[in-house]
Amino acid sequence: MKSTLMVSEVFKSCQGEGKYQGTPVIFLRLAGCTRRCDFCDSKYHINGKKIPFKQLYGMMYKNISSTIVITGGEPYYNV
């Protein structure tokens, strides 16, 4: 389905690096990465759940005051 993303997890935490280090953020960890990097800190992300964009938007909207960090996975769009 074109209006979904494969998502491993959505959670609140503090940004651990970069410009926003130490600030509260919402992490959207995508699933489906094929890289298998040795240094990966989330090997469980291989599997995920298809979540519609509208549902993800709803999850993010209630936390709109936080920065959203999209990480992991290899999102693609089937044409």
Q: What is the pLDDT of residue 22?
A: 93
Domain boundary assignment for the chain: 4-71
Lookup: tokens for 14 = 């503090």
Which pLDDT does position 65 carry in this prediction? 65
For the segment 14-71, what is each residue's pLDDT rounded down to a tens digit?
A: 998 888 899 998 888 888 777 777 777 666 666 788 899 888 888 877 766 678 888 8
pLDDT of residue 78: 42
